[in-house]
Amino acid sequence: MAKNTYPLTTLLPLQKLDFRLANGMRVRTVLMPQPNASSTKIAHVELNYAAPGSEAFNPIGHEGIPRTVIEAAALAYQIAQSQTCRGEGFNIVEVLLEGEEFVERGDMEKIAGAAIPVKLV
């Protein structure tokens, strides 16, 4: 189950989700949790992504509506899926989850479905 506790650290908390495509490229997404007023819980999760073949990150707006950890992970998957429309070889073959600080492997398995393997890196 996704973790909603904001970490007690001086480092910027984030979690990377990479969606590896059949052609070897990847869609990289970065979840950046934001704390609530007391810095104990996650109030919102910012999301950036880099398209296949690009290192430039693009922020995903939220129109003022707070996004939970699970919503951010689901949106990351939707963004990766949207990149599969670019042509042959762009289908998602694997999800690489960097750690389980916020989104856990089981969460991504539910979001991506059983057809796409999820690996922790």
| DSSP structural state of residue 108 | H
Whether 5 maps to a domain, the answer reads no
Whether 1 maps to a domain, the answer reads no
- Stated as kind and residue range, the H or E segment containing 58 is strand 58-60
Q: Give the pLDDT score at 22.
A: 93
Domain hosting 28: range is: 15-120
Does the reported pTM lie above 0.85?
A: yes
Whether 114 maps to a domain, the answer reads yes
Q: Give the pLDDT score at 45.
A: 96
Residue 37, pLDDT > 90, answer yes
Q: Which residue has the higher pLDDT, 32 or 62?
A: 32
Write out pLDDT tens, residues 95-113.
999 999 999 999 999 999 8
Q: Give the pLDDT score at 115.
A: 81
Q: Give the pLDDT score at 62.
A: 83
Whether 62 maps to a domain, the answer reads yes
- Counting runs of H as helices and runs of E as strands, what totals does the chain give? 2, 6
Q: Which residue has the higher pLDDT, 88 or 16?
A: 16
CA distance 91 to 69: 24
Whether 23 maps to a domain, the answer reads yes
Whether 53 maps to a domain, the answer reads yes
What total of structural domains would you count in the chain? 1
CA distance 74 to 70: 6
Whether 20 maps to a domain, the answer reads yes
Q: Give the pLDDT score at 23.
A: 92
